[in-house]
Amino acid sequence: MNRRYRKPMIAGNWKMNLTPSETRSFAEAFKPLLSKPRLCEVALCVPFIDIPAALKACKGGRIAIGAQNMHELSSGAYTGEVSAQMLRDLGVKYVIIGHSERRQYYNETDATVNKKVLAALEAGLRPIVCVGESLEQRQFGVTLEWITCQVKAALYGVPQDKLRRVVIAYEPLWAIGTGQTATAEQAGQVCNAIRTLIRRLYDAKTARSATILYGGSMNEKNAAELLAQPDIDGGLIGGASLKPEALSKIVQAANQE
């Protein structure tokens, strides 16, 4: 992580875990574990139903709340969906877009991801855009080409002044929930390639200030090593974000790095 230009960020992705009452207990346990003063941005991306409880319980704790998905339109006849405006109105700051589980189980394509990124920015949310290659793609040696395609498609039409608000999370599919973390070198190499691409698409200043996270079996044991890579600015944490102690240790590692 390069602290001269960027602030570290640790975001939890709870996926479909924890009820509203469990959210309150989590926040009660988590808040006192965070050191003050703290440089690191901390966000919890929780299920929609937990958002009000999370906002209330995390108030005053400098913990931002995020959602894990949204619809690309602002309103309309889309039963079961939630718009960016609705999330913003509640006080949500971040939204995960294009997580590999959404791409895999809910047929989200690069085109939908791009629409959602633009809609999130329009509504004043900060998108955390997920990209990542499969094991086969890594074995075929096409990782960087694949990630380039995903990032380019996600950012299509995003103006330079809005790019500051976009967070990119590199999450290799084979590392998510498997306990098999990418090595610091593998993760660092892809995050560096993403920054180089942003430099090409925008400019050097924009690339220097872009926040790029790593995600995939990141935990309190391997966080420091991953975060020591110059182009990894933080983490998107799944399993380990459900445990207040583990998550606070990862935040600590990001603070120190």
216 contributes a contact to ligand PGA by CB under 6 A: yes
- Please identify the residue of the shown chain whose CB is closest to the bound ligand PGA: 238
User: Cα(10)–Cα(227) distance, rounded to whole angstroms?
Assistant: 10
Q: Between 84 and 237, name the residue whose CB sits nearer to ligand PGA.
A: 237
Min CB(195)–ligand PGA separation in Å: 20
DSSP string, 143-206: HHHHHHHHHHHHTTT--HHHHTT-EEEE--GGGTTTS-PPPHHHHHHHHHHHHHHHHHHS-HHH
* CB of residue 171 to ligand PGA, shortest distance in Å: 6
Q: d(Cα 184, Cα 227) in Å, to the nearest integer?
A: 8
Kindly state whether residue 176 participates in binding ligand PGA, applying the rule CB under 6 A: yes
Point out the catalytic residue in the list 41, 133, 171, 257: 171
Examine residue 47 and tell whether it contacts ligand PGA (CB under 6 A): no
CA proximity to 86, closest of 42, 51, 45, 130:
51
Cα atoms in the Cβ-side hemisphere of radius 13 Å centred on 33: 17
Determine the Cα–Cα distance for residues 101 and 98; give it in Å rounded to an integer.
8
> Interface with ligand PGA includes 218 (CB under 6 A)?
yes
Report the DSSP beta bridge partners of residue 236.
Answer: 11, 215
Q: For 128, which DSSP code?
A: E
User: Which residue from 50, 72, 133, 171 is in contact with ligand PGA, where contact means CB under 6 A?
Assistant: 171
C-beta of 27 vs 173, nearer to ligand PGA: 173
Q: Is 171 a catalytic residue?
A: yes
Please choose, out of 70-78, 148-156, 184-192, 237-245, the segment that lies near ligand PGA by the rule CB under 6 A. 237-245
* Listed ranges 74-82, 113-121, 213-221, 223-231: which one lies at the site for ligand PGA (CB under 6 A): 213-221
Neighbours of 176 (CB within 10 A): 20
Q: What is the DSSP letter of 47?
A: -
Residue 178 and residue 137 in contact, taking contact as beta carbons nearer than 8 Å: no
User: Minimum distance from CB of 78 to ligand PGA (Å)?
Assistant: 25
Of positions 83, 217, 222, 252, contacts ligand PGA by CB under 6 A: 217
Nearer to ligand PGA, 73 or 184 (CB): 184
Size of the site for ligand PGA (CB under 6 A): 13
Identified binder of ligand PGA from the candidate list 98, 172, 239, 244, rule CB under 6 A? 239
Q: How far apart are CA 112 and CA 106, in angstroms?
A: 11
Under the binding rule (CB under 6 A), the answer on residue 177 touching ligand PGA is yes
3-state DSSP assignment of residue 104 = helix
- Token pair for 78: 């889309």
Residue 13 near ligand PGA by CB under 6 A: yes
Q: How far is the CB of 219 from ligand PGA (least distance, A)?
A: 7
Residues that bind ligand PGA (CB under 6 A): 13, 171, 176-177, 215-218, 236-240
Task: Give the residue numbers annotated as catalytic, written as ranges.
Answer: 99, 171
